Amino acid sequence: MNQTPTYGVDLITFYHPAYWGVDTYEEILQLRADDPATLWQRILDGLVEAGIELVEITFPPADWMSAIDAFGSAVGFAAELRSRGLRLKSGFHVGLDWNPGTDRAEAADAATHYAEFIRTAGGDTLVVGPPMRRSRDARPPMFVDLGYMRALADILHHVGDATLRVGVRTAVHTEAHSVHCTRRDIDLLMSLTDPEYVFLCPDTGHIVLSGGDPVDIVAHHIERAILAHWKDAIGPMPAGMPIDEAVHLEHRRYFTDVGQGVVDWPAWMRLVDRTPGGETVLLEQDAVPDPVRVLAEARRRLDAVRAAYAR
């Protein structure tokens, strides 16, 4: 069994408008535009209050560019984190617009700039959000076949090689309704990518939404799981749901607090303890009104699970 892990969080957890006293996500973006330093101060204060030590930055408003706006540079951001007993672990990179025609060099170049920020600020992992599927009735249809996955693997190889050169590993997220969410998808992409360059970031909640068992699926790729998103969910989403601009908001209806869903946390914990990323528990729950309570309670429940099976 690994030592007691360090807790982190993906900052999407703080993206609910109610937490900011506004009505829409767009208004949160405006807060970031008006005063990025104040936005970051409140998030970092919340992390400290919740007992969190590690940070995963993500898409706006708490992205790497707003961190530069608030603190001047990656070095300045790292110093601010250290002053609060925090440190950067990773950054989420959206690859949703990647397709077989994507220029590999351009994708690698964009990822390298982000990875350089991550490394300079103290992190070591770039988490890639994979492209989304299309609805079944889409015209033209989208077939996630061997040819498609080979093209995606080629992009990931170029990205993975580029980020490794600056000291950051690339790990693919398991996003519900994406091309990398079911057991078949994950097995296929992992088999087509070189384990020296491309790693895995399983998300327990998204795997459940896609009808899978996180423990069963990740056990087949245990050596590739360098980081994981720990998230609970009430069960699979209905088959055939539209995959459109609202699908990520629909996901949130199925996520729930740790211990209130169907994830087998004792089994998951035993599995993750055997992975290269076993020292980190990266919590995430998409955009909750009370993130400090949610994170503190998740830590309390997971500590209790670990204490129970450690006896």
Q: pLDDT digits over 87-145, tens only?
A: 999 999 876 678 888 999 999 999 999 999 999 999 999 999 999 999 999 999 999 99
Mean per-residue pLDDT of the chain: 95
> What is the CATH number for 305?
3.20.20.150
- The pTM for the full model equals 0.96
Closest CA to 161 of 112, 92, 228: 112
Instruction: Tell me, yes or no, whether 148 lies in a domain.
Output: yes
The answer to whether residue 280 sits within a structural domain is yes
Cα 8–Cα 180–Cα 225 angle in degrees, nearest 5: 40
Round to whole Å and give the CA distance between 67 and 73: 7
Burial call 69-83: b when 16+ CB within 10 Å, e when fewer: bbbeebeebbebbee
Establish how many alpha carbons lie within 13 A of residue 239's alpha carbon, considering only the half-sphere containing its beta carbon.
3
Determine, yes or no, domain membership for 203.
Answer: yes
How many domains, the chain? 1
Interhelix angle for 64-71 vs 104-120, to 10°? 40
Domain presence at residue 153: yes
Task: With respect to residue 129, please indicate whether it lies within any of the assigned structural domains.
Answer: yes
Q: Does 1 reside within a domain?
A: no
Residue 101: per-residue pLDDT = 85
Confidence of residue 1 (pLDDT cuts 50, 70, 90): very low
pLDDT at 228 exceeding the cut of 60: yes
Residue 177 falls within a domain, yes or no?
yes
The rounded Cα 202 to chain-centroid distance in angstroms is 8
67 occurs within a structural domain: yes
Q: What is the C-alpha to C-alpha distance for residues 145 and 142, in angstroms, rounded to an integer?
A: 9
Domain that includes residue 77, residue range = 6-310
